[in-house]
Structure 1
Amino acid sequence: MITEAAWAATRTKNTFFSERYHRLAARRGKKRALIAVGHSQLISVYLILSTGARYHELGAQYMQAKMEQKRKTYLSSELKKLGYQVSLIKTPMEAIPN
């Protein structure tokens, strides 16, 4: 039953669970990714039932934005370790050469 719910969640578009499945399936395989999504769903259901909170869909871009922030923090801390003063200023995408 858990895998059936996970399989259904992976078939939806632009959802956190679907994106999680596709990221994991590429690295770990489809079956392991399906079990991982089912586990994530169980954790979500437990937290909703135990705290009474409402479910909030994070969206497909959630992990990408989170990883981008982690990478910025990591790279700026590495530069600080090397003795550089770091100031992050985002440039427009048109200004970045290919």
Structure 2
Amino acid sequence: MPAGHHESAGRTKNTKVRPGNPYLKGALGLAAFGAVRTKDTYLQARYKRLTARRGPLKALVAVEHSIITAIWHMLTDNVAYQELGGTYFTHRDPERVTRRAITQLNQLGYAVTLNPIEGTA
């Protein structure tokens, strides 16, 4: 949660990272940097999605937040970490991914016709 209620017209505005334990922040930074470099993981997929919109440093801070949130839930609920996988966002809303791919191909000048593969639809 941001340091204040920086909200206007229903949109949350950017704010600075709140002060905290510098050792924990450093460790989270290293953990996030390692997590985004591992292949086919949820955290890498999240980083790639956010990097396109926010830039690499803000995306890295968002991954740090995801890690600390996961740790909090693991400690609070006494459960193990469940890796969602690198294809989590694709499987979550496949129609959105399809629409986006079609739009990109249309922008490149291609007419797209979709024919579902038998046995998968």
- TM-score computed with the length of structure 1 as normaliser: 0.69
Which secondary structure does the structure 1 equivalent of 2:93 belong to? Answer: helix
Matches within 5 A, 1:45-64: 45-64=71-90
Q: Deviations over 1:32-87 (max 9, x none)?
A: 00000000011100000111111111000011111226x4xxxxxxxxxxxxxxxx
Q: Which residue is 1:91 aligned to?
A: 116
Aligned length: 75
Matches within 5 A, 1:1-98: 1-68=27-94, 71=96, 91-92=116-117
Q: Determine which structure has the larger helix proportion and give its number.
A: 1
Percent identical: 38
**In structure 2, C-alpha distance between the alignment counterparts of 1:20 and 1:91, rounded to whole Å:** 28
By how many angstroms is 1:17 displaced? 0.3
By how many angstroms is 1:4 displaced? 1.2
- TM-score computed with the length of structure 2 as normaliser: 0.57
By how many angstroms is 1:27 displaced? 1.1
**In structure 1, C-alpha distance between the alignment counterparts of 2:49 and 2:36, rounded to whole Å:** 11
Q: Which residue is 2:8 aligned to?
A: none
Greater relative contact order (CA < 8 Å, ≥ 6 in sequence)? 1
Unaligned runs of 5+ in 1: 72-89, 94-98
Q: How much is the aligned-residue C-alpha RMSD, in angstroms?
A: 2.0
Counterpart of 2:117 in structure 1: which amino acid? P
Counterpart of 1:8 in structure 2: which amino acid? G
